[in-house]
Structure 1
Amino acid sequence: MELPSEEFALSQTLSRVEDVEFEVERFVAHDDDHVMPFVWVSDGDGDRIRTELEADESVENIELVSELDGEWLFRMEWVDHIETLIHILVKEEGSILAAFGDESGWQIRVLFADRDGLSRTYDYCRDAGLTVDIRSIYQLDDGREGRFGLTDEQQDTLVAAYERGYFDVPRKITLTDLGEELGISHQALSERLRRGEKSVLKNTVIVGAED
């Protein structure tokens, strides 16, 4: 799901610092008033980020946990603009699998116990005057393929390519030989692999990426 930055925590920091990006490592919800995330911050000036975070009214108790190669991991408390998060974590007992935010908004991947939890969350946001955009829905009954947005053919092809060493360095099998084993043309295999790789990247590494 996607949420506008102005209706979410850290909106002040996002509006004041150009090109800053936030990626949440883990959420902990203690009660109905605040959540305590671990947040990776990517920006060229860590001192300025710390200053802006301390001035952000949606944030309290900021602690720098780690600094690595131009990224900073902060532990903090979010105390404002978190109604949607509280509903998901506390009311629905859902899990935030991934969350990424920049000036364009927040992209969040959520695991609900059932589809009704998603419907109730959508209705809650609508009734509270909050904006939420549901970008895609995957059923766990579909297995890992559904979770990563893969078709059955893409899943089978990626597994076969991995098992036969296509992704090894150096490669143990060529695209042509792999296509012959699978009974499809070189061109069809290449396109299927690319589409499968794009789906896996989009649904794992790149949170909320557009097609």
Structure 2
Amino acid sequence: MSTIAEFSIPTAEFALSETLERRPDMVFEVDRVVAHDTSHVVPFVRATRGEFDELTEILEADSSVEEVELLAEVEDESYYRMVWTDRAQVIGYMVAEQEATVHEATASDGEWHLRVFFPERSGLAATSEYAQENEFTLNVTHIYGLENLEEAQHDLTQQQYNTLTAAIEIGYYDIPRETNAQEFADDLNISHQALSERLRRGHKNLITSSLLVEEDDEY
């Protein structure tokens, strides 16, 4: 069964750790990654939010980077093609050995956060075992089936996702509204209060994941 997994890796155990030590405010996002074996990973990387002066030179000096090529500079972003050394071998293993696809990979605040599609659930188990054997800290935070991809992309539970999409379909967010909260709650066979709480939590998760708002546990 196909599986989507989200996990984190400390930057100290992965690629670009030395660069992030020198540019701690920088955010790196992998747009695409190619790997023919575990020892050479070729990502296309976007750099944002930090100090760009001498960034290329800093990347060239990073021991996890074998090659780096500046492809473009657009306002406050720079695009690179890199070749990573075996410091990134766990990614090489996923892509080359387990035929996985890296949907997202972002480095910031001391961690790499990844979302990876595995054609078979066994590929995730094999990757976890490989990481342990090679002393990578692979912290799996979420596992989704392929049918839950939309929910996964916005950090929504299936219940929150279904409620928000239903609200759109019945015109709850239209101006003027096609239905009110009590009618919507009745359609879902839940109380008005339960609907309010479900929508509020869904809105919070959606805004946090989409707009990078800092999460606050207080409601």
Shorter-chain TM-score range: 0.7 to 0.9
Structure 2 CA distance for partners of 1:143 and 1:126, relative to 1, 3 Å? closer
Q: State the SS of the aligned residue for 2:67.
A: strand
State whether residues 29 and 106 of structure 2, in contact with CA within 8 Å, keep that contact through their aligned partners in structure 1: yes
* In structure 2, C-alpha distance between the alignment counterparts of 1:204 and 1:97, rounded to whole Å: 16
Shift of 1:149: 5.1
Would the aligned equivalents of 1:26 and 1:38 in 2 still touch at CA under 8 Å?
yes
CA RMSD of aligned residues (A): 2.9
Within a 5 Å distance, the mapping from 1:57-96 to structure 2 comes to 57-96=63-102
Supply the distance in 1 between the matched residues of 2:60 and 2:172 (Cα, whole angstroms): 49
**CA distance in structure 2 between the partners assigned to 1:23 and 1:40 by the alignment:** 5
- Partner of 2:3 in structure 1? none
Matches within 5 A, 1:30-41: 30-41=36-47
Please name the residue that 2:169 is paired with.
163
Q: Distance between the aligned counterparts of 2:108 and 2:78, measured in 1?
A: 15
For the residues of structure 2 that align with 1:155 and 1:59, how far apart are their CA atoms? 40
Moved more, 111-120 or 3-12: 111-120
Determine the structure 2 residue equivalent to 1:130: 136
Aligned equivalents of 2:118, 2:216: Cα separation in 1: 23
Contact 1:32 1:86 in 2 (8 A): yes
Distance 1:143 1:24, change over 3 A: closer
Stretches of structure 1 lacking an aligned partner (at least 5 in a row): none
On the 8 A contact 1:139/1:147 being kept in 2, the answer is no
Q: 1:181 aligns with which of 165, 181, 184?
A: 184
Report the alpha carbon displacement of residue 87 of structure 1 after superposing the two structures with TM.
0.9
CA–CA separation in structure 2 for the residues paired with 1:34 and 1:76: 10
The 3 A distance-change label for structure 1 pair 12 and 189 is: same
Counterparts of 1:1-211 in structure 2, within 5 Å, are 1-141=7-147, 144-145=150-151, 150-167=156-173, 171-173=175-177, 177-183=180-186, 184=190, 186-200=192-206
Which residue identity lines up with residue 180 of structure 1 in the other structure? Answer: E
Amino acid of the residue matched to residue 8 of structure 1? F
- TM superposition shift of 1:110: 1.1
Given that 2:23 and 2:50 are in contact with CA atoms closer than 8 Å, whether structure 1 keeps it comes out as: no
Please state which structure has a larger fraction of its residues in strand. Answer: 2
- Higher mean displacement: 67-76 or 100-109: 67-76
**Structure 2: distance between partners of 1:44 and 1:60:** 22
Per-residue deviation, 1:126:
0.9
Instruction: State whether residues 40 and 89 of structure 2, in contact with CA within 8 Å, keep that contact through their aligned partners in structure 1.
Output: no
* Residues 102 and 151 of structure 1: CA distance in aligned 2, closer, same or farther (over 3 Å): closer
Amino acid across the alignment from 1:102: S
Distance 1:210 1:100, change over 3 A: farther
Q: Is the alpha carbon distance of 1:90 and 1:204 closer, same or farther for their aligned partners in structure 2, counting shifts above 3 Å?
A: farther
TM-score by length of 2: 0.79
Over 3 Å counting, the alpha-carbon distance change for 1:205 and 1:107 in structure 2 is farther
Distance in structure 1 (CA, Å) of the matches to 2:166 and 2:106: 32
Confirm or deny: 8 A CA contact 1:22 1:101 kept in the other structure.
yes
Q: Which runs of 5+ in 2 are unaligned?
A: 1-6
Decide whether aligned partners of structure 1 residues 190 and 103 sit closer, same or farther in structure 2, where only a CA change above 3 A counts.
same
Aligned partners of 1:98 and 1:104: how far apart in 2?
Answer: 17
8 Å CA contact retained: 1:27, 1:36? yes
